[in-house]
Homo-oligomer: A and B are copies of this chain.
């Protein structure tokens, strides 16, 4: 676990000693993400310039050292967990805003800038940046790109992929590339920007990122829609989608969520409610009124619908779910699957059947407007792991059969890579391997992640 003396010597030629961490305590704090995996790196480097990034990659290439990029480690599927005894490249010191052009609606930032920093600065000009993961306050823009992060407002404002104009990045071959232009419309060559977004640090390291900004809404309103059963709630999601009601967020919580919230929050829940939709409308005040009325008309099967007088409080209850579950179950598995909106109820039923068969407690909530369900398996102890694994295999197969995807916003990392063969045919995966090989010929960038 100690850094080799020759590493120390070589790294100090690239970086000042203050930008190299190798004491065991520091290495341990870079050894895990927000999930279950851990591996201790031999050292951590904290570059401040693109040139330093290039020199680090060149050295890793020569020495065949696995190099894992890291934002703030808020991911869950192990994507930023390093190789054991490998090198971590943390972008926490590349955190400058390089330019902000409200009149062209873009901002150029270094990868270590926090998502919230971007939102705050953009907000001063009535603009926002689309991706709003719940870790917004402490996750980085570079990490958001690596995993194509989303959030509740992805429904209206898109995921990370929809909100980046171009990147500059250092490939695994050590080449600095620029993938596009500071414009939101281009038909000029192959789209390398979107190829790198969501590639989980396996193809290139972002050094400069040009973000596309969107107009911030004038106002918003949050409705709480209560349903007597989950099926009616899922039908309501499809109805709202089909009747083209323009919503900014549409969150679902199942009956087990409500049971938990009854005990663990002060949300007032109607006694017969078995499902909740949080529906956000944004725009002009007149729009809020129009759509609130329209939603009530479209959904006669509603148990009740109230406007939240304290939207922050209602969102807090929704965001509380993950920590509550973690407290309840030492071995919580939080999945992140997506199906076409019209298939949400079919997915929910399947998940409940599968978990009941294996006697595992299951709780589901998520960004239902995108068909994105966070399927939680709550295990009492580690002995339930094999049963949970069987559940996951069946759930993923069901998701693919319903036309869906293995991950909506968390990514693949270490957790799901073996399942990628279910999602893509062999020729499709072969092309991904070929791309990996060209961007990273020595397989030094985050080896063993994403691809099976």
Q: Which of B189, B195, B283 contacts A424 (CB 8 A)?
A: B189
Other-chain contact of A187, B246, B283, B412, B434 (Cβ < 8 Å): B412
* A207 interface contact, C-beta 8 A: no
Given A175-B427, A242-B125, A290-B286, A183:B367 Cβ within 8 A: no
The complex is assembled from copies of this chain, and their number is: 2
Residues of chain B within 8 A of A103, CB atoms compared: 238-239, 241-242, 341-342
Give A430's nearest chain B residue, CB to CB. Answer: B175
Chain B residues positioned under 8 Å from A176 (CB to CB): 425, 427
A185 near B371 with CB under 8 A, answer yes
Residues in B with CB closer than 8 Å to A126 are 243-244
A372 at the interface (CB under 8 A from B): yes
Chain B residues contacting A187 (CB-CB under 8 Å) are 147-150, 159, 198, 336, 407-412
Contacts of A125 in B (CB 8 A): 242, 244
Q: Does A104 contact B (CB under 8 A)?
A: yes
Instruction: List which A49-87 residues lie within 8 A (CB) of chain B.
Output: none
Residues of B within 8 A of A198 (CB): 186-191
Q: Is the CB of B188 within 8 A of A195?
A: no
Contacting residues, chain B, for A404 (C-beta < 8 A) = 181-183
A423 contacts chain B at the CB level, 8 A cutoff: yes
**Counting CB contacts under 8 A, is A338 at the interface?**
yes
Flag A126-158 by CB within 8 Å of B: 1 or 0 each.
110000000000000000000111100010000
- Check B339 against A425 for contact (C-beta < 8 Å): no
Contact A371 B427 (CB under 8 A): no
A186, A290, A404 — most chain B CB neighbours (10 Å): A186
A161 CB–B CB distance under 8 Å? yes
Contact, CB under 8 Å: B105 / A341? yes
B408 touches A185 (CB 8 A): yes
Q: What 1/0 flags go to A397-409 for Cβ under 8 Å of B?
A: 0000001111111
A190 near B183 with CB under 8 A, answer no
Contact of A339 among B183, B190, B436 (CB under 8 A): B183
Q: Complex: how many Å from CA A30 to CA B71?
A: 52
Complex contact B104–A241 (CB within 8 A): yes
Q: Indicate if A178 sits at the interface (CB-CB under 8 A).
A: yes
CB-CB nearest 5 A-B residue pairs? A215-B244, A104-B340, A175-B427, A194-B194, A103-B342
Can you list 5 A-B pairs with a CB-CB distance of less than 8 A?
A: A181-B338, A183-B338, A185-B371, A187-B408, A191-B191
